[in-house]
Structure 1
Amino acid sequence: MTKIRDGIIGFCVGDALGVPVEFQTRQALSAKPLTDMIGYGSHSQPAGTWSDDSSLVFCLMESLIEFPNLDLHDLADKFSSWLYKSYWTPHGVTFDVGIATAKAIDRYKELCIRPDLAGGTDVYSNGNGSLMRILPLAYLLKGEMIEDRVKIISQVSSVTHGHPRSIIACVIYIEVAIHLINGLSLQEAIERMRETVKDVYKDTNHTEMMKFDRVLNGDISKLTVDEIESSGYVVHTLEASLWCLLTTDSYSDAVLRAINLGEDTDTTGAVAGGLAGLYYGIEAIPEKWINPLARLDDINDICNRFEAASNA
């Protein structure tokens, strides 16, 4: 399969590993680090349970299967079905809902506004809620021109997160993912992403682009763990995921390092896990972490259908 299961299973495993320790501090996880798939904990869910991150990834995949040219209304409707009707949830219950995402879906349903106008656009609406679900677009957009990639990423992000900062973070992530899908090394993928993103956004507000200075201009691998934050802020999640990949040499180490940063462990684990899965391949993901995944048959099925739709 064309790296679809690599990225999606990698993402979902990272999510499920992080769910039981979400909200734990870095200090607590430093004293007792996560080393394996466990259950219960923060959300009282069995081992292998993934969160809203994976649910919304699967919603995006389902929508792209049905509408390969993108239908934002269908996508927003699927997000609504997840929030209100527990669509694409691991055990039939919606839990761990991001505030900005919930507000955007409420606006879409209650105000009947255009889906890409539903997401918050103020500076405080820059949680990681669109970054965490954007990965499937890498498969859809890998053959498109950069202008078209940016346009579609902007539309899909804006269903829940419409601020330029959230959109730029999604563009950066997808550019790295596309280059990994195409077989580049991690360092090459990041360098190519930097060239493209700096060119595309050369006329963008300098203050806004400075938020991504460590990703676009510095050597993030040289930062210490104390310089990496792991909150739900979109820039923190993006930086942490890249740092974890650059400072480890296996899927397992990258994802566990991401989760053991603490705080928003499921999302940092998922975002790092998606890229790590693409980079190392599904063969590098321990089977003992894949096999417990909730609805694994359904996940494999949607990957198969997504591949078939992508190749249609």
Structure 2
Amino acid sequence: MDQRSDRAAGALLGLAVGDALGAGYEFGSAPFRGEAEMIGGGLGGFEPGEWTDDTSMAVCIAEVTARGGVDLQAIAGRFLDWYASGPPDAGNLTRAVLGAATDAADVPMRAASRFETHPGSCAGNGALMRTAPVALAHLGDDQAIVEAAQAVSGLTHADPVSGEACALWCIAIDRAVREARLDGIHDGLALLPADRSAFWEARLIEAETSDPERFGSNAYVVSALQAAHAAIVSTPVPEGQPSRHLQDALHRVIGIGDDTDTTAAIAGQLLGARWGVSAIPDRWRHVLHGWPGLQADDLVDLALRTVGGASSVLRR
């Protein structure tokens, strides 16, 4: 596997690794003593190495993008398949939208209706946790990334701020895969309207100049992005072993606390996109598994097939 492919596959695998690492510590389920391990447990009673809804929903997207392009109705259909399987844990907004939907076409309509009636509750972190396949499907095409990220977010999280967060994080993943850098999120600011760019620039500066512990309440999509970003930028890149940064930054974001599986999944996408599959320790990779009966190598395959069949087509 060449370096770019290693990084592309790392985006999806890093998501799952962060998710499974953080699952056991979610909302104080287990004490955190400086370094995380795949202990299982958490709110869903997960097995060690088992991923949660964060990765399962990303898999739903990746199964579609691996066939080429972003088909919103197909993704919504897979979301419903996953939800019908009786997952042990799901976000409140996701549960409300999918639980009320009658079919795949109804999913975004339920999300929109939810936003219209409960706008203040529709900007949770549940779309930002699953963005990696969207970025991989459109590498090198910024406008397609932004459009697809916002559209996929809107399937369950119709608040525009969620779509903006997903767009920015997808641009960051694109730059990490294609250019091997971690600061690409700032490139995404120019792709937003001026007032929204100013809003997000201030939030990024806040994350970059604050102790990550400041973002200890991170169910809101903005604070979840800030927690992940703050942990990544505040963690030194070790001299002589730079890829160790992936592990160190994941420990740091989990140490912030609260919704640890999701913030670590968010951070893991970008860290994996920068440092690649090769930076993920075997002890984590070998126990990784989850719905619908997949393991680490299956995620690598989905990621590589997404990149290999990448298309700028967005089908609604």
Contact 1:128 1:166 in 2 (8 A): yes
Residues 43 and 104 of structure 1: CA distance in aligned 2, closer, same or farther (over 3 Å): closer
What SS does structure 2 have at the residue aligned with 1:118? helix
* Residue number among 264, 283, 286 corresponding to 1:288 in the alignment: 283
Q: Structure 2 CA distance, aligned partners of 1:178 and 1:307? A: 11
Q: Structure 2 CA distance, aligned partners of 1:145 and 1:285? A: 28
Q: Structure 2 CA distance, aligned partners of 1:231 and 1:222? A: 17
Q: Name the residue aligned to 1:131.
A: 128
Q: Structure 2 CA distance, aligned partners of 1:253 and 1:48? A: 18
Q: CA deviation at 1:37?
A: 2.4
* Residue number among 8, 15, 29 corresponding to 1:4 in the alignment: 8
Contact 2:211 2:230 in 1 (8 A): no
Equivalent residues in 2 for 1:1-312 (5 A)?
Answer: 1=1, 2=5, 3-24=7-28, 28-29=31-32, 32-66=33-67, 68-84=68-84, 86=85, 94-109=87-102, 114-119=106-111, 120-121=114-115, 122-146=119-143, 148-187=144-183, 189-194=184-189, 196-197=190-191, 200-202=192-194, 210=199, 213-215=202-204, 218=205, 220-248=207-235, 249=237, 250-294=245-289, 295-296=294-295, 297-310=297-310
Contact 1:118 1:158 in 2 (8 A): no
Q: CA deviation at 1:149?
A: 2.9
Q: CA deviation at 1:301?
A: 3.7
Q: Structure 2 CA distance, aligned partners of 1:282 and 1:143? A: 21
Q: CA deviation at 1:232?
A: 1.3
Contact 2:139 2:307 in 1 (8 A): no
Q: Structure 2 CA distance, aligned partners of 1:42 and 1:106? A: 20
Structure 1 portions without partners, runs of 5+: 87-92
Contact 1:25 1:263 in 2 (8 A): no
Query: How many residues get paired?
Result: 290
Contact 1:107 1:113 in 2 (8 A): no
- The alignment's C-alpha RMSD in Å is 2.5
Q: Structure 1 CA distance, aligned partners of 2:89 and 2:201? A: 27
2:13 maps to a residue whose letter is I
For residues 178-215 of structure 1, the C-alpha deviation after alignment (integer angstroms, 9 at most, x for no partner) is 1111114223x233233x24xx31155x9xx6366221
TM-score by length of 2: 0.83
Contact 1:126 1:163 in 2 (8 A): yes
Aligned identity (percent) is 29
Contact 1:130 1:166 in 2 (8 A): yes
Contact 2:138 2:311 in 1 (8 A): no
Residues 127 and 108 of structure 1: CA distance in aligned 2, closer, same or farther (over 3 Å): same
Structure 2 portions without partners, runs of 5+: 238-244
What SS does structure 1 have at the residue aligned with 2:256? coil
Q: Structure 1 CA distance, aligned partners of 2:108 and 2:147? A: 11
Residues 34 and 42 of structure 1: CA distance in aligned 2, closer, same or farther (over 3 Å): farther
Q: Name the residue aligned to 2:241.
A: none
For residues 59-79 of structure 1, the C-alpha deviation after alignment (integer angstroms, 9 at most, x for no partner) is 00111223x232221111100
Q: Structure 1 CA distance, aligned partners of 2:299 and 2:286? A: 11
Contact 1:240 1:258 in 2 (8 A): yes
Q: CA deviation at 1:228?
A: 2.2
Contact 2:43 2:89 in 1 (8 A): no
Q: Structure 1 CA distance, aligned partners of 2:105 and 2:90? A: 21
Q: Structure 2 CA distance, aligned partners of 1:286 and 1:14? A: 12
